[in-house]
Structure 1
Amino acid sequence: MSSEINNDNNVMTMANWVRQTLNQLNDQSKPRIGLFDSSVPEPTQLLCDVAGKAFAQGAPDSFVSVFMRNHPVFEAWLSERYDVPAEHILCTSGATMAVSYVLEALCAPGEHVLTETPGFDIFRIAAAVEHLELSEFSRPAPHFGVDPLLVLDALQPNTKVVIVSDPHNPSGLGMDQDVLSELCDMLASRGIALVIDEVYKDYSDDFVSGLDIASHPNLIRIGSMTKNFGLNALRAGWMFVGADLLERVRNHLRLADFSVSKLSHSVLAEVVSQSDRFDAFRHDIMRTARPIVQDWLDRMVEDGLLERLPPLEGCICFPDLKHISDTNDFSRWLAETHGVIVVPGECFGAPGFIRIGFAREEASLREGLRKLEAGLIEYVQILQQQQKKFAQN
């Protein structure tokens, strides 16, 4: 199908949906609990402490030019943490921009991109902006795995890029690395690039550094400091680019985004020099939050409100609401009546599901789940009453 895009704020995208819902609740001065966020909260005090000490006596040694190059401290940290040769690392102004740059570098208007469903809508939006043809292959519930044969069946003669997320957005579930490697090799033999969105990788309890760039020359892996450390304020992302694609992507990046923020990357260098503190911040939140949500989900399954999910892995989950097919309508009603914001599955191409972000402090998380549970029960009762009334008529 052909990708089209416009600036209509009513288009069903996640950004538009959340923006409209927040504006509506602000207008009504209602309290709200956001279970739509997909990262830990910004560690504001920790960030201020690190940056404040670094700049207390003026510009630190990390305050160096990043014109047409990566920050050397950040590059070295990425290389060690994710086991990637430094020469294959390209820094960007966030992961979203990295997706756009990849498509601009590797595709011409009218060529084809294949991505996943359910999936993050930014992949579809980026393809539409570049006037690319787009189609999707299914990652079926409840495990949301990738079948390489389904991917191959969905390829077209003009396919240039396949995009997947690992861990998967919206389910938060990780992929088998052997399957990913097999898929990458299959695509390489056809001259097609595999792009993996890895922004949630650091949330896995069983952290793996990811596919070896050196062994997969048609591979691009994308990450961001927004998700792993909650540092959206720094707008820092990266690409790990395989040998066959590196020159094209790097040359395009130098034309399109040749200078990331010197100040942002100086602060970033100070942050990663103390990354254990930011990792601990994330681990502490998730160590508390994940068991709370897992227990809640198990109880909702026992109560017949949700279909069973695999065990939680990341900071988001994507439950199937057993009795509700229009989750857009439910999510709006839930926000209006109970002040809880979740993201309807329609934003990811999967009506009947909702995405819950649970990287929150304990009291707020428990209150949000309590209100979500009350809303689920009440809404199902409303639907049952409507069905009964319809049957009587």
Structure 2
Amino acid sequence: MATPAFVFKLPDVGTSIFSVMSQLAAEHGAINLAQGFPDFDPPTNLTEALAHYAGLPGHQQYAPMPGLPRLRELISAKTAQVYGVTPPDPTTEITVTSGATEALYAVLAAVVHPGDEVLVLEPAYDLYGPAIRLQGGVPVYVPLRQPDFRPDWALVAAALTPRTRLIMLNTPHNPTGAVMDAADWDQLATLVAGTNTLVLSDEVYEHMVFDGQPHRSALQHPALAERSFVLSSFGKTYHATGWKVGYCIAPPLLTAEVRRVHQFLTFSVSTPTQHAIAEVLSDATHYHALPAFYQHKRDLFARLLQDSRFELLPTAGSYFQLARYRRISSEDDVSFARRLTTEAGVAVVPISAFYHNALDEGLIRFCFAKRDETLHAAAERLRQL
């Protein structure tokens, strides 16, 4: 009997580099500075709220598909307070999702048709390209400007065509830590004016911008807000990445399309978890303190490695730090990252994993969302190289 000729959608995609490096770290007892998650717990009031609501009768069944009304109302108030914008309508403009990952996938599934082009500025999170391809879309990769990894708007303009359905942006940026400013949003607005191109703005690190600079959101630019999906993550903000709770803010027409997909993708998000987040969200103390909290860790890690042979690049936001390692080794970045994990005992991510063509620039990414003692222990090992 002949073997069936199966045709798969992503035959060239393997296991995520983040999972690979984390598994390698576990196998070799390495300090994991690879995958982007904290090694400290969420705020106590949040975990206590979750325990409370998980034990209440009637709080274990499906939440409303778009999210708990109370939580969406609080998201609206927070958005208005943080960004100085008109509060988004909780009923028609805010959708609670199973992490920003689900929100991103729902947006792409809702608006990208076979043959549509989606502009991706790279290096880029490795989810973007495969998620676009799964919709039949065509990722069009535009390199970020070197050496500061900011958008080169002339290159973006050159890549725009009548088939450009969506532009995907990420600020603060993973993996480089670069941030977009008001002038960047102005230039983007000029480029898409008069077109049908939509914008997906991945802003999950919105509360991690350093050196006294504010986070600039697409929501603050009226001409862009009317055509944008803006994604945020409670998992990132509250050190609870495993809870997988995020949200999407978009105009009513766009929100309706996202919800058409969301209802069949996950339908709704964990009910007690939504209640717990709503319990703490009205207190702005936590997220207002995050820039200083993570800037301390950025600066501590930089001080600890200042006498090492790593060359740390500037990082203005997120909780990631890029480093060049050419003074240590001429290996390709994947080989170096693996050896750093297995021999030096510190797991990192090679930056070629963020390029569709595996471009190797001799860079690795550290995650500094770790306890200070973890950073000290990692730096002690790294200084020996």
Name which of structure 1's ranges 190-199 and 317-326 shifts more when overlaid on structure 2. Answer: 317-326
My pick for the range that moved more, 195-204 or 284-293, is 284-293
The residue that corresponds to 1:71 in the other structure is: 68
- Code of the residue aligned with 1:288 in structure 2: it is H
* Conserved? CA contact 2:67–2:96, under 8 Å: yes
- Tell me, which stretches of 5 or more residues in structure 1 are unaligned? 378-393
> Taking structure 1 as reference, are residues 38 and 143 closer, same or farther at Cα in structure 2, changes over 3 Å only?
same
The residue type equivalent to 2:303 in the other structure is D
Q: 1:248 to 1:177 in 2, by over 3 A?
A: same
Alignment match, 2:324: 320
1:121-270 correspondence runs (5 A): 121-205=126-210, 206-208=213-215, 210-212=217-219, 214-216=222-224, 217-242=226-251, 245-270=254-279
Structure 2 gap ranges (5+): 1-7, 81-86
2:314 aligned residue: 310
Deviation, 1:64, is 8.5
| Structure 1 residue 267, shift from structure 2 partner | 2.3
Letter aligned with residue 31 of structure 1: G
Deviation at 1:20, TM superposition (A): 4.3
Distance 2:299 2:139 in 1: 38
What is the SS of the residue equivalent to 1:318?
Answer: strand
| CA shift digits 1:128-171 (9 cap, x unpaired) | 22222112101133311012221121123322111111011101
SS in 1 for 2:165: strand
Residue 271 of structure 1: which of 254, 266, 280 is its match? 280
- 3-state SS, counterpart of residue 127 of structure 2: helix
Q: Which has the higher helix share?
A: 1
The residue type equivalent to 2:119 in the other structure is L
**SS of aligned partner of 1:220:** strand
**1:82 match: secondary structure:** helix
The 5 Å alignment of 1:87-102 reads: 87-102=92-107
Higher deviation after alignment, 66-75 or 44-53: 44-53
**Counterpart for residue 383 of structure 1:** none
Q: Are residues 1:295 and 2:300 paired?
A: no
Structure 2: how far apart are the matches of 1:287 and 1:114?
31
Query: What is the one-letter code of the residue matched to 2:20?
Result: W
Residues in 2 aligned to 1:135 and 1:164: alpha-carbon distance in whole angstroms: 13
Q: What CA distance in whole angstroms lies between the structure 2 residues aligned with 1:75 and 1:194? A: 22
Q: CA deviation at 1:179?
A: 0.9
Q: How many residues align?
A: 359
Partner of 1:380: none
The alignment's TM-score, normalised by the length of structure 1, stands at: 0.81
After TM superposition, give the deviation of residue 312 of structure 1 in Å. Answer: 4.3
Q: Is the 8 A contact 2:172 2:206 kept in 1?
A: yes
- Superposed CA RMSD: 2.8
Distance 1:42 1:241, change over 3 A: farther
Q: Structure 1 residue 34: deviation in Å?
A: 0.8
Q: Give the equivalent residue in structure 1 for 2:50.
A: 51
Residue 348 in structure 1 maps to residue 351 in structure 2: no
Q: Which residue number corresponds to residue 5 of structure 2?
A: none
Residue 82 of structure 1 pairs with residue 79 of structure 2: yes
**What's the TM-score once normalised by structure 2's chain length?**
0.83
CA distance in structure 2 between the aligned counterparts of 1:364 and 1:173, rounded to whole angstroms: 24
- 1:367 aligned partner, one-letter code: A
Cα displacement string for residues 210-253 of structure 1 (whole angstroms, at most 9, x for unaligned residues):
22365421111111112111212322111111355333333333
Give 1:108 deviation, angstroms. Answer: 1.1
Q: 1:8 to 1:191 in 2, by over 3 A?
A: closer
Work out whether residues 194 and 218 of structure 1, in 8 Å CA contact, stay in contact via their aligned partners in 2: yes
AA of the residue aligned to 1:347 = A
Change (3 A) 1:132 1:287: closer
Letter in 1 for 2:21: V
Task: Give the C-alpha shift of residue 332 in structure 1.
Answer: 0.4
Following superposition, the deviation at residue 207 of structure 1 comes to: 3.5
2:67–2:268 CA contact under 8 A, matched in 1: no
Answer yes or no: is the 8 Å Cα contact 2:32–2:346 preserved in 1: yes
Deviation of residue 370 (structure 1)?
2.0
